């Protein structure tokens, strides 16, 4: 029984299609094709917009990376300059310590000479006191 109920429905659909004129069918097909083409065009346009948006985002990211790279390069150069300045200051401190050491050595030598001269003067004084007049 279900097979008999399906058959009359098909006959009705076939009879509707048969009643339409071929020109009407072509017009409907053309309209359907135009609608479908318009939908594809809209999808393509949306896809282009998304692609352009992604391209702009990628360009922004590329520019930010370039800016960060340049900033890092400036920081590296500043770090190198600071390292050179620190090395120069260290060398100056070493030179100052060396100069101080030399100055202290010279002062010590002078003090030893002065002390030797005092001893000699004492000895001369003692020698003069011991000599009978």
Q: Which pLDDT does position 11 carry in this prediction?
A: 58
Cβ neighbours for 25, distance < 8 A, ≥ 6 positions apart:
17
Determine the 3-state secondary structure of 133 from DSSP: coil
Q: Which pLDDT does position 28 carry in this prediction?
A: 87
Cα(89)–Cα(84) distance, integer angstroms: 9
Q: Percent of the chain beyond pLDDT 70?
A: 81
How far from 26 is each of 10, 13, 38, 44, CA to CA, in Å? 22, 18, 18, 26
Query: pLDDT band at 72, cuts 50/70/90?
Result: very high
CA 131 from centre of chain = 92
What residue spans define the domains of the chain?
24-100
Q: Which pLDDT does position 102 carry in this prediction?
A: 97
Average pLDDT over residues 25-44: 91
Phi, psi of 115 (to 5 degrees): -60, -40
DSSP state, residue 20: S
| pTM confidence score | 0.49
Lowest average pLDDT, out of 11-25, 48-62, 98-112, 113-127, goes to: 11-25
Residue 7 confidence (pLDDT) above 70? no
């Amino acid at each position: 029984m279900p097979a008999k109920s399906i058959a009359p429905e098909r006959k009705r659909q076939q009879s509707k299609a048969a009643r339409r004129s071929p020109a009407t069918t072509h017009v409907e097909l053309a309209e359907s094709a135009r609608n479908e083409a318009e939908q594809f065009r809209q999808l393509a346009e949306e896809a282009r917009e998304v692609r352009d948006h992604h391209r702009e985002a990628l360009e922004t990211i590329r520019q930010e990376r370039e800016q960060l790279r340049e900033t890092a390069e400036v920081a590296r150069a500043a770090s190198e300059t600071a390292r050179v300045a620190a090395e120069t200051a260290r060398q100056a401190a070493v030179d100052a310590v060396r100069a101080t050491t030399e100055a202290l050595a010279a002062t010590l030598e002078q003090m030893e000479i002065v002390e030797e001269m005092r001893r000699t003067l004492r000895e001369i004084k003692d020698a003069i006191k011991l000599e009978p007049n």
